[in-house]
Amino acid sequence: MPLLEGNIIDQFRASAKGWVSQKGRAAVWREIEPADGVFEPQYLIGLKTAAARVSKSGDDAGQPKWRFAPQVAFIDVTAATNMRTARATCTPYFPCGNTAAVLDARGERVRAGDGHEPVRV
């Protein structure tokens, strides 16, 4: 299944860009029209692999990092010149990488997709 990254998320859209080629800063992406309804991620992750990942520290230590449930993912800074910009979308059950933070409202915390320490909001 797709591993969502911050660069493919746009306001209210979990798949605004599709990976074409290359890696890192040299990666080439294409725009995906909302009506297309496709995901073209750079990375895929297996269901068992995603479900087996657990938090290693903090209040969520030992808990799964990903749950098969919709979640709100966001990128908080889109560019140095847009430091107040945040883009968010509801994800369709897919896990998120470290560039797409996930809002966790169970305990009024925000956790990064890579398992960084939760921050009280």
| Angle value at C-alpha 52, between 20 and 9, nearest 5 degrees | 35
The pTM of the full predicted model, rounded to 2 decimals, is 0.72
Which residue, among 19, 4, 13, 29, has the nearest Cα to 114 in the 3D structure? 4
Burial class from Cβ neighbours inside 10 Å (0-12, 13-18, 19+) for residue 39 reads: middle
Tokens linked to 108: 């009024």
Identify the sign of the CA torsion 117, 46, 96, 64. negative
The pLDDT of residue 121 is 40
The tens-digit pLDDT sequence of the chain (121 residues) is 999 998 898 888 999 999 999 998 899 999 999 999 899 999 999 999 998 999 888 888 898 888 888 888 888 765 666 566 778 888 888 898 888 888 876 655 555 554 445 444 4
Q: Where are the domains of the chain?
A: 6-120
Tokens linked to 100: 């797409």
